[in-house]
Amino acid sequence: MTEKRPRIRVRGLTKIFGDEAGAALSLLQAGQNRADILKATGAVVGLQDVSFDVDEGEILIVMGLSGSGKSTCLRCINRLIEPTAGSVLIDDTDVTKLAERELMELRRTRFGMVFQQFALFPHRTILKNVEYGLEIQGVAADRRRDKALAAIETVGLKGWDQHYPSQLSGGMQQRAGLARALALDPDVLLMDEAFSALDPLIRRDMQQELVALQRRLKKTIVFVSHDLDEAIALGGRIVLMKDGRVVQQGTAADFLANPADEYVRRFVEHIDVLGVVTAGDAMRQPAAVKAWHSTAAEALASLTQSGEPVMTVVCHEGRFQGTVDAATLRGAGETELRLLLSDREAFVSGTATLNEAVAKLAAGRGEIAVIGPTGELAGVIANADLVAALARRRSETEH
């Protein structure tokens, strides 16, 4: 397996707004807090010693309430806001050390940005809007048209290229904004509250669309949001900020299990646990497993002894093949299990949420398999395992 590497490395990122930024930085480094620095210098500490990595092909969600510094952090990554201290490395390039011309080139070639407001030119067609960045780069007309049309198709707007923004719904306009960023084929996408202006149903659709796009395109994405449900829907790691500092980093499940402080605990107290805890978290080792060349008689004896509702069947390489219930096994004698499989769909991946496991179990399956990346059997989940997993999470959050 190829080891992931950080595409973005943020180290000690600090931003102070105001004329006395130098004096304020000295006070900050001496241990003064935001309020005292504001009183002493009139300067506002927007970011303080922010550090995190974003792996190549990862969606990282930077979260926090209004005023937490999340948007400032995003804009410091490509220096739309000039950092006061710290470094931002894109691969081996320190963005904070680039001259103006080098910075402009980096923005044009390696960054795409999608804002909360769609920022489309009303007098340009969707095609011309999506072409805009390529036009600035000096790309030839035929080539930029081809790239723009491909991006428009990627975001599901094929056939709308000759329409104007006013003729599109809000969700479609946001897709056009995303297409404009994708047309540049950037290494890094920076998305600042990109779906916040959309109606809830359209917003959910756009979240799902972004996840699907990411599976295909494998871009490195930093996504700013104030909405924990959105962060969970997008998946991946979360950087939670408060008062310009990083409070905690990790997955939503990490925040549930080990909140760093009371702020984090309150932030996740209303979280949908079924949408966060994975099947891998809740699974247990199976008590009734047989290879597919085993006989029905052998399997029935093992199943009866185990007390499990179904027999889990694997191939000789350990990959899940399906399940067989006791009714199917009775009277089947020496018939091999591979010919008797009752349910080939009784499985979820280890990374699936418990919501997906519940849906499978609710379909009448007494037990489902949990599989790994290559289909290997990793464990099983029954209804009792779901209840136990939820009880553990509730206990963890209460303590």
DSSP 8-state secondary structure symbol assigned to residue 192: E
Which of 114-118, 145-149, 300-304, 390-394 is predicted with the least confidence, judged by mean pLDDT?
390-394
* Residue 265 in this model has a pLDDT that exceeds 90: no
In percent, the amount of the chain with pLDDT more than 90 equals 50
Per-residue pLDDT tens over the stretch 344-378: 988 999 988 888 888 888 877 778 899 998 999 99
Indicate the residue type of 179.
Answer: A
* Residue 144 in this model has a pLDDT that exceeds 50: yes
The pair of three-digit structure tokens given for residue 89, joined into one six-digit string: 């490395």
Question: Rounded to an integer, what distance in angstroms lies between the CA atom of residue 6 and that of residue 55?
Answer: 4
DSSP 8-state secondary structure symbol assigned to residue 341: -
- The residues, any chain, with a CB within 8 Å of residue 15's CB and separated by 6 or more, are 45, 46, 47, 69, 72, 76, 81, 82, 83, 84, 244
CA 59 to chain centre: 5
- pTM of the entire structure? 0.76
- Please state, as a whole number, how many other Cβ atoms lie within 10 Å of the Cβ of residue 294: 17
**Torsion sign over Cα 281, 228, 13, 53:** positive
Fold of 54-88+97-275: Rossmann fold (3.40.50)
279-391 carries CATH number 3.30.70.260: no
Indicate the residue type of 238.
Answer: I
Gyration radius from the chain CA atoms: 26
* Residue 397 in this model has a pLDDT that exceeds 60: no
Cβ atoms of residues 195 and 233 within 8 Å: no
The average pLDDT across 12-26 equals 93
The average pLDDT across 160-180 equals 91
| More confident site: 399 or 77 | 77
Q: What DSSP assignment string belongs to 53-94?
A: EEETT-EEEEE-STTSSHHHHHHHHTTSS--SEEEEEETTEE
The average pLDDT across 279-296 equals 89
Most confident of 136-140, 158-162, 281-285: 158-162
Compute the mean pLDDT over every residue in the chain, rounded to the nearest whole number.
Answer: 88
- Please state, as a whole number, how many other Cβ atoms lie within 10 Å of the Cβ of residue 389: 22
- Please state, as a whole number, how many other Cβ atoms lie within 10 Å of the Cβ of residue 38: 15
Per-residue pLDDT tens over the stretch 49-92: 999 999 998 999 999 988 899 999 999 999 999 999 999 999 98
* Residue 396 in this model has a pLDDT that exceeds 70: no
Domain ranges of the chain: 54-88+97-275, 279-391
